[in-house]
């Protein structure tokens, strides 16, 4: 929630307040940069309302704009926390890789006209799988710990669409976008796949790739125990 800006969080809280009849504080499963999308997102709030949880999505959606939709609701145990209880997240970065842009992908994919070698990108991506210190892949230095575990990074192509899927325990500020920029540099031949591992070892942001735009990034899935 921002004081002077319209945000997803602020909009959702206002809708919830209108439905349950009291002020609520919504805890989301993480913060995303402006321009990033979510195909699946989990949030929780406390209420004394007697509205059955299965009816909440319909009630909330009458108070939400077309680009925010509540798809389900359930009652959870008292110590559940949408961000603290999360054990795995997956993101997808979508690239429209063609010489001519597609208007139907505007703000939903990054239009990138230079040819990308997906096999080289995958070779670079493999360097990141496992538990590592990703200090070189974040733009925020005050993190308590920059160690994260990545379970998989999968680069796939279908026609002009190149999709990169990231699965891990969690991701640092700008981490997925910097990883994507690094893979792009490998895919265009600007860096070798092995240099990705070199950047990890240096812990130096200057050794990793550029920050890819926000508009191609989607939070895909959130998992809980």
pLDDT for 82-136, tens place per residue?
999 999 999 999 999 999 999 999 999 999 999 999 999 999 999 999 999 999 9
Residue 79 pLDDT class (50, 70, 90 cuts): very high
Residue 41 pLDDT class (50, 70, 90 cuts): very high
Give residue-wise pLDDT tens across range 138-197.
998 767 899 999 999 999 999 999 999 999 999 999 999 999 999 999 999 999 999 988
Among 22-26, 30-34, 82-86, 105-109, the least confident range: 30-34
In the chain, DSSP assigns E strands to 27-28, 37-38, 43-44, 86-96, 110-111, 130-133, 147-158, 161-168, 217-224
Q: Are 157 and 118 in contact (CB under 8 A)?
A: yes
Instruction: State residue 107's pLDDT score.
Output: 93
Rounded mean pLDDT, 189-217? 94
**pLDDT at residue 36 tops 80:** yes
Looking at the annotation, which residues are catalytic? 33
Q: If you write DSSP's letter for every residue of 178-222 in order, what string do you get?
A: HHHHHHHHHHTTSS-THHHHHHHHHT-GGGS-----GGGEEEEEE
Instruction: State residue 33's pLDDT score.
Output: 86
- The vertex-191 CA angle with 190 and 195, nearest 5°, equals 170
Instruction: State residue 141's pLDDT score.
Output: 75
N-to-C CA span, the chain: 28
Instruction: State residue 31's pLDDT score.
Output: 86
Instruction: State residue 34's pLDDT score.
Output: 86
């Amino acid at each position: 929630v921002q004081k002077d800006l319209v945000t997803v969080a602020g909009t959702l809280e206002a809708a919830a307040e209108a439905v349950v009849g009291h002020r609520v504080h919504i805890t989301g499963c993480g913060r995303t940069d402006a321009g990033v999308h979510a195909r699946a997102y989990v949030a929780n709030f406390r209420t004394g309302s007697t509205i059955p949880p299965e009816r909440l999505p319909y009630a909330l959606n009458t108070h939400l704009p077309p680009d925010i939709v509540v798809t389900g609701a359930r009652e959870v145990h008292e110590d559940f926390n949408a961000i603290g209880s999360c054990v795995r997240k997956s993101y997808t970065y979508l690239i429209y890789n063609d010489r001519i842009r597609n208007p139907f992908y505007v703000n939903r994919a990054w239009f990138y006209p230079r040819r990308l070698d997906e096999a080289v990108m995958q070779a670079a991506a493999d360097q990141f799988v496992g538990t590592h210190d990703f200090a070189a892949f974040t733009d925020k230095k005050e993190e308590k710990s920059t160690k994260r575990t990545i379970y998989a990074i999968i680069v796939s192509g279908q026609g002009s669409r190149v999709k990169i899927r990231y699965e891990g325990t969690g991701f640092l500020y700008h981490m997925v976008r910097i990883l994507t920029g690094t893979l792009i540099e490998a895919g265009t031949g600007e860096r070798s796949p092995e240099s990705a591992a070199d950047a990890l070892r240096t812990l130096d942001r200057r050794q990793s790739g550029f920050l890819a735009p926000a508009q191609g990034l989607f939070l895909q899935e959130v998992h809980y125990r």
